[in-house]
Amino acid sequence: MVDGYAEKNASRFLFVACHHLPYSKGYHNHDAEKSLAQTFEKEPVKPDIVFSGHQHNYERYNYNGIHYIISGGGGAEQGPVKGAPNEFYNQPEDTFHYCKITLSETKAHFEMIKLEKDTGTWQVADTFTVSKPTP
C-alpha cells in the first residue's frame, strides 16, 4: 500500500465473473464452481455479485448475501430452466437479454433487459439494488 492509496481508491462493490456457473436449475452444473462459491460465502469480504455464463438463459439466485447471475442470453439457442415460483426470475421460456449495472457511490442497480419476442421491444424483466452505507 503506497501512502494509503488502496484505502482512498478501494471500490465499494466487488463483482466476480467466471464462465461456469456455481448454481443453476438448468442442464449445466459444475462442482468446482460450487466449491468456489462456498468459499466466497465464507470469506470476510464477499462479492456483491457473481456473474457466470455457460447456461444459455438467465437465472438469478441469492445465497448467503451474494447475488449469482447467470447471463447466457446473447443469441445462441436457449437451454431450458425450470425455476420455482418463489425465485427472483422464473420464466420458463427463452430469455434473450443483456444486463446493465448503474453505479453510484452507495448503490449498484442491476437490470436484466429482455427481448420481448411478440413485440420485438426490450423490457426490464428483473431488477435489484445492492446498497452500501455512506462512507
What's the angle, vertex CA 97, arms to CA 116 and CA 41, rounded to 5? 135
Q: For 113-127, how does the pLDDT look when each residue is reduced to its tens digit (9 = 90+)? A: 999 989 999 999 999
The DSSP output letter for 25 is S
Q: Where are the domains of the chain?
A: 5-131
Q: For 42-100, how does the pLDDT look when each residue is reduced to its tens digit (9 = 90+)? A: 877 789 999 988 777 888 888 888 898 988 777 666 666 666 667 777 776 778 889 99
The rounded distance, in Å, linking the Cα atoms of 50 and 16 is 5
- DSSP code string of 70-92: EE--SSSPPPP----TTSS----
Could you please state the CATH topology (level 3) that the domain comprising 5-131 is classified under. Purple Acid Phosphatase; chain A, domain 2 (3.60.21)
Q: Is the pTM of this model over 0.75?
A: yes
Q: Which residue has the cell 462459491?
A: 37
